[in-house]
Amino acid sequence: MTRNKKQKKLPKGIFWRGDILWVRYKTEEGKLVRESAGCASVKVAEELYRKRKTEIAEGKHFPARKFDKVNFGELLDDWWQDHRLHRASKFQYLLPRLQRWRKMKARAITSEMIQDFLSELKDEEKLSPSSVNHYRTIMNSTFNFAIRRKKFDYNPVQVVHQLPEPPGRDRFTSSEELRRLLETCDREGDRELNAFIIIAATTGLRKGSILPRKFSDVHLEENVPYIYVGKTKSLS
């Protein structure tokens, strides 16, 4: 943190404590509250200040101190309990590296600490940018999930940017490979797999978009036959 940056005039209700920005405001009862923004971003601190002022004006403010004793491990367990059924194969192997955070108070985790953790994974453990970004994703999702469930009140990960990832290599199935694959399905008599491969090859849809389709989604009578899939993640 440079001295010149700290000397700049801060917006109302925001102040420095060490290298972290804090906000101060009064509750409906007139009690002065000081709350950490968890980072050195003036923008994030301003958003937190405005949010608290709005909550107080609308009578929705709840004391931030209620979360002071919450450990990150509690938030992570809640997140994993909700997400493990559909994310187990993707994220379970990543959880051991997050054990260092389990006993830490969630309130004590700052954006700078998270940035240092991700830099360590990249520079010292030599993880790829995509692997490092997976850890950011877990922590970001954990805090956001806790906020939605009213188990925490801010997310220190939001100002930590993902690492740029190199473009992936596109590998398309050749016509000859597709022909041999379909011939194998024919020999095995697997008509369902045969149909699945044709749909996947001609539409580019993923398994998760193909399997839930109903027969009413298939429109063969049109001049250009098509399958209706609605809005998917890749098209949003």
The residue ranges of every structural domain in the chain are 10-61, 72-148, 175-235
pLDDT tens-digit profile of 39-90?
889 999 999 999 888 888 877 666 556 788 899 999 999 999 888 766 655 6
CB 52 within 8 A of CB 23: yes
Dist. CA 11–CA 22, nearest whole Å: 11
CB 184 within 8 A of CB 207: no
Partners of 226 in the beta sheet?
219
- In percent, the amount of the chain with pLDDT more than 70 equals 87
pTM: 0.53
